[in-house]
Each structure stands twice: as C-alpha cells, then as structure tokens.
Amino acid sequence: MYDDLRDKVALITGAAHGQGRACAIALAREGVHIAALDVASQLAYPGYALGTAHELDSVAAEVRSLGVRALALVAGDHQ
C-alpha cells in the first residue's frame, strides 16, 4: 500500500505484545524491516503484564514470515 515504506527500518518499542506487536506486524506487511525492542520480563511497575521473551521471539518470527528482516532486542538491565 505504501511503497515509500518498503525496505525502511522501524524500531518498535514494547514490541512483544499489544500495540507494539500490532504496529510491528502492520509495518512488516508494508515491507518495513523491524527492530523489535521490549523489556521482555515483568517489572515491579507499571502493575500490568509486560511482554515476555517468548512473545518477543514470536513477533520476530511472524515478521520474518512476512518476508522482511527482524531483530528481537531485549532492553537493558532492569534489576
């Protein structure tokens, strides 16, 4: 649909699930390569479930299945 996005790269934060995952998949469908970043573990805050390492890996796999490149990146040390 948006040929001007094809072969660009998007860094998606919170990519393991929810809106971040949806954005990653939508952009991948347009030919955008994805760098998917997430904390990928539960934190004491904000009090709701965060993405997991498994979910982060699965979004990267789904993006790759759409024919574009994907990196699954875990955000820094959060201990």
Whichever domain contains 49, its CATH number is 3.40.50.720
Contact, 36 vs 14, CB < 8 A?
no
User: Per-residue pLDDT for 78 more than 70?
Assistant: no
Between 7-16, 38-47, 56-65, the lowest mean confidence (pLDDT) is in 38-47
User: Per-residue pLDDT for 2 more than 90?
Assistant: no
Contact, 28 vs 61, CB < 8 A?
no
Residues 6+ apart with CB under 8 A from 77: none
Q: What is the extent of the structural domain holding 11?
A: 3-74
Q: Domain for residue 42, yes or no?
A: yes
Contact, 63 vs 25, CB < 8 A?
yes
pLDDT in tens, 17-58: 999 999 999 999 999 999 999 998 888 877 788 889 999 999
Q: Domain for residue 13, yes or no?
A: yes
Distance CA 32, CA 63 (A): 9
Q: Domain for residue 10, yes or no?
A: yes
Q: Domain for residue 79, yes or no?
A: no
pTM: 0.86
* Structural domain count of the chain: 1
Q: Domain for residue 55, yes or no?
A: yes
- DSSP letter for 78, please: -
**For residue 63, what pLDDT is reported?**
98
Q: Which residue from 36, 28, 35, 21 is spatially nearest to 5, judged by alpha carbons?
A: 28
